[in-house]
Amino acid sequence: MIKVELIAATKVFDEVESEPLALASHAALECYRAETPKMGEMIDVKSKLFDVSHHTTLQHFTFNFNIEGIAIGDITLGLHLCSSFYNSDQRSGRFCSAMFDNPDIGEIMNYIKYFWPELREGASLDIETYIFRQIRTYQQNLGRASLLAAEFIRKERPFASEKYIAQNALKIAQEQMRMFVPVIFPTGLDFSVNLTALVALWESAWSPSLIFVFNKMVKLVLSKYPELGMFFQKKRRRKAGLQESFFWPDGLWRGFDFFDTRTKPGLKLLQLDADSEFHEIWSEITHPVDKLHFTPELMDNSVAGLRTLIEISLATMGQDQRHRTIGRGGPFFTGNFYLPPILQNLALEREAVSSLKEWHKLNVPISLRAILAPYGAMVCYKKRGSFNAVAHEQAKRLCWCAQEEIYHLSLKLRQAVEKERGTESPLLKMFEPLCFSTGKCAEGARYCGRDINVRKSGDYFPERKV
């Protein structure tokens, strides 16, 4: 079951009656007075601030939660989907894939029974069979995948040591083989929100797990700060229980009845502002501290930008959500399965299509079917970002320490910009990893082993398998 803990909250130095309300009062009085107010001097926060939506005053107080046992899909297609007003550090699927080696399917079934108690027994058996088959495909092919990963590393990264290969071959194999694993597997994260964001997320929660998580959060907050109860009014919550579509925004399912594999992410450039609106970015601005959004010379980059339409795997959508300065539209499943290079070389196309079909035929509520999707199920959505936001997003994506699919997505975007504006366009500066612009690796001990010197004369942005 999902475990939610309040692990920290903003601490006010002075002894005050209510830290959250004292901070909000102090912020409001700072706005209304010519002199600095005294901490602890209170105003009617509800009527003068909350009810009239003067909510910046309420955003100085932050809650920090640890969440364990939540399904990966309930983060990608839930906790992180709409709100960008949070900070989150999630257990890495790249580094913690060992959880797929000996999974507790009983724990997953208990998760399902708790949040979807109406599920019939036959459907539960179908789900369990489906999960078992996907894990079996993963486990039966992981050994061969690891050998292939080692072979590809040696070919693509001539300076990778045997120690590096030994440390990374299995990890890369797990990363690509997990395309068969359903995203209902449990994970954990630290999650921080300010007061008004918590209220908004609690009111907006639309799936069984989100309702549960935000109820837990609010209960923990009110046990410590009962005076905040005035902000959490049940009458304002999204109405539940009337129809299944409540649990998911319209459009997630486009009625696809075809099943196919794709070996590259998809990208279409929808809009690109003029080169003249772009102010050139230099490496010291982005590394090691990213100052793109803090530098006066680059302010105009925050009002010009680009829009794209992309198709990526559910695995990479989770990666894509890390960049919250990028705006995203609602996703929908396309009916495709992403088949990364190792899976291609293992000839697992038939297993991939079978995975999609078995998932799609499950007769379960929409909110459950969404998080039973395999990592490899592909979703499509629109993205919009300013030049500063895109440069921030791209800074690490053409680095070979980035996962293969997200590298290829960025490569496609670079190629689309180059096709539109030519090889001399200053916009291409947004798509330069540090090793390309300076000849130095930014990853330190995590140096991938590729030949950085080819930046002087060769194709620095090639196809890659791992």
- pLDDT digits 0-9 by tens, 258-306: 899 999 999 999 999 999 999 998 888 888 888 999 999 999 999 999 9
C-alpha closest to that of 53 among 163, 200, 190? 200
- Output the pLDDT for position 95: 64
Does residue 241 surpass a pLDDT of 80? no
Cis peptide before 20 (omega within 30 of 0): no
- Output the pLDDT for position 187: 93
- Output the pLDDT for position 258: 81
- Output the pLDDT for position 32: 87
C-alpha closest to that of 335 among 355, 365, 315? 355
- Beta carbons of 178 and 67 less than 8 angstroms apart: no
434 SS3 class: helix
Between CA 302 and CA 307, with CA 305 as vertex, the angle to 5 degrees is: 135
Entry field: residues in the chain: 466
State percent of the chain over pLDDT 70: 96
CA distance 15 to 28: 19
DSSP string, 171-192: HHHHHHHGGGSBTTSEEEEEEE
> Hey, how many other C-beta atoms are within 10 angstroms of the C-beta on 125?
11
Average pLDDT over residues 317-334: 91
Cα 252–chain centre separation? 17
CA distance 429 to 96: 34
The alpha helices in 103-253, defined as continuous H runs, are: 105-115, 121-156, 162-177, 195-204, 208-224
- Output the pLDDT for position 59: 93
DSSP string, 293-345: GG-GGGGGGGT-EEEEEEEEEHHHHHHHTT-TTSEE---EEEEEEE--HHHHH
Does residue 102 surpass a pLDDT of 90? no
Does residue 240 surpass a pLDDT of 60? no
- Output the pLDDT for position 1: 84
Does residue 451 surpass a pLDDT of 60? yes
The DSSP H or E segment spanning 412 is helix 404-421
- Beta carbons of 71 and 46 less than 8 angstroms apart: no
83 SS3 class: coil
- Output the pLDDT for position 251: 67
Question: Residue 445 gets which letter from DSSP?
Answer: G
- Contact partners, residue 311, CB within 8 Å, separation at least 6: 262, 265, 266, 267, 334, 336, 378, 379, 380
- Output the pLDDT for position 247: 55
- Output the pLDDT for position 250: 57
Domains for the chain: give ranges and CATH numbers.
3-93+185-247 (3.30.1360.170), 100-180 (no CATH), 260-456 (3.30.1360.170)
- Output the pLDDT for position 243: 46
Does residue 438 surpass a pLDDT of 60? yes
- Contact partners, residue 254, CB within 8 Å, separation at least 6: 332, 333, 334
CA distance 266 to 405: 10
* Of the listed ranges 58-62, 209-213, 441-445, the one predicted with least confidence: 441-445
- Contact partners, residue 81, CB within 8 Å, separation at least 6: 321, 331
69-90 residue pLDDT tens: 999 999 999 999 888 889 999 8
- Beta carbons of 433 and 452 less than 8 angstroms apart: no
392-410 residue pLDDT tens: 999 889 999 999 999 999 9
Does residue 443 surpass a pLDDT of 50? yes
Q: What's the mean per-residue pLDDT of the chain? A: 92
Does residue 249 surpass a pLDDT of 90? no
- Output the pLDDT for position 244: 47
- Beta carbons of 372 and 355 less than 8 angstroms apart: no
- Output the pLDDT for position 103: 84
17-29 residue pLDDT tens: 899 999 999 999 9
- Beta carbons of 374 and 181 less than 8 angstroms apart: yes
Average pLDDT over residues 434-456: 92
Confidence of residue 363 (pLDDT cuts 50, 70, 90): very high
Instruction: Look at the pTM and tell me if it is higher than 0.85.
Output: yes
State percent of the chain over pLDDT 90: 80
CA distance 101 to 106: 15
Average pLDDT over residues 203-229: 95
